[in-house]
């Protein structure tokens, strides 16, 4: 089991692993022995130092990226959310060609609500060097998949925050059991006025 001091030391040692572009190339624990007890503290002590992060894409490690052209293209990324028991809010990070750089779960909440703040959405987008984002969430309760007043307010806040930060909000999509397979509800298609500059 790693002690708190060895965890801190492992995190401090990552300075040697930071690439010149600012991305973290590798972050591994020096001791990979699993903890014996299953307490929360031991699980955190074991899991934290094993994180591997890549904050900025590295061309040498690039794979063929999937391009997003329409809301239906996003449906495959959202299929796990379709029947989720809680509401999940995720952001899909895109480059300038609208190719997927990554998927980030911003929050998950109760059966009917998920609290989201633009700060959490754009923190991950900036770290991923995103040109644009698509935000998505599911409606787990009921068969109707229509945006609530809060969904529309959140969309407006995210659009305005994205304008200030230079990260375009392309769409806000909703999935749920009430939709046909491989389909999503596009707030941009139904409420285009939210994308008008104010």
d(CA 65, CA 130): 14
Q: Is residue 65 part of a domain?
A: no
Spatial distance between the Cα atoms of 63 and 48, rounded to a whole number of angstroms: 27
Give a yes or no: residue 63 inside a domain.
no
My answer on whether 107 and 137 are in the same domain is: yes
Same domain, 50 and 101: no
Question: Which strand ranges, in their side-by-side order, compose the sheet holding 168-175?
Answer: 100-108, 88-94, 132-138, 168-175, 185-186
Q: Do 160 and 191 fall into the same domain? A: yes
Please check whether residues 37 and 81 belong to one and the same domain. Answer: no
Residues 175 and 79 in one domain: yes
Report CA Rg, the chain. 19
Rounded Cα distance between 106 and 127, Å, is 13
Q: Where are the alpha helices (DSSP H) in 128-167?
A: 149-165
Top-confidence residue, 158 or 198: 158
Look up the pTM and report it.
Answer: 0.67
Per-residue pLDDT at 182 exceeds 50: yes
| Residue 66 included in any domain | no
Angstrom distance (rounded) from CA 82 to CA 182: 10
pLDDT at 143: 62
Residues 191, 99 share a domain: yes
Instruction: Return the closest-CA partner of residue 118 out of 166, 171, 162, 168.
Output: 162
Q: Which of 148-152, 182-186, 193-197 has the highest mean pLDDT?
A: 148-152
Asked if pLDDT for residue 188 goes beyond 80, the answer is yes
Residue 64 lies in a domain: no
- pLDDT tens digits, one per residue of 33-45: 444 555 544 444 4
pLDDT level of residue 24 (50, 70, 90 thresholds): very low
Tens digits of residue pLDDT in 93-146: 999 999 999 889 998 876 555 678 899 999 999 999 999 999 999 888 766 788
The residue segments making up the domain with residue 188 are 71-195
**At 191, which CATH number?**
3.40.140.10
pLDDT of residue 161: 95
DSSP E strand stretches across the chain: 88-94, 100-108, 132-138, 168-175, 185-186
């Amino acid at each position: 089991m790693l002690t708190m001091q060895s965890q801190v030391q492992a995190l401090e040692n990552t300075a040697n692993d930071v690439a010149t572009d600012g991305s973290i190339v590798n972050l591994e624990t020096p001791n990979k022995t699993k903890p014996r007890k299953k307490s929360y503290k031991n699980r955190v002590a074991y899991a934290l130092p094993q994180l591997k992060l890549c904050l900025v894409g590295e061309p040498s490690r690039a794979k063929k990226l999937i391009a997003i052209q329409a809301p239906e293209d996003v449906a495959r990324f959202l299929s796990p959310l379709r029947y989720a028991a809680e509401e999940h809010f995720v952001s899909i990070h895109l480059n300038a060609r609208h190719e997927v750089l990554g998927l980030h779960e911003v929050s998950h909440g109760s059966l009917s609500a998920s609290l989201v703040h633009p700060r959490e959405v754009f923190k991950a987008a900036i770290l991923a060097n995103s040109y644009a984002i698509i935000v998505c969430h599911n409606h787990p309760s009921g068969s109707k998949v229509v945006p609530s007043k809060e969904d529309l307010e959140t969309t407006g806040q995210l659009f305005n925050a994205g304008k200030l930060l230079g990260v375009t909000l392309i769409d806000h999509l909703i999935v749920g059991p009430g939709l046909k397979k491989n389909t999503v509800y596009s707030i941009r298609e139904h409420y285009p006025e939210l994308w008008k500059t104010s």
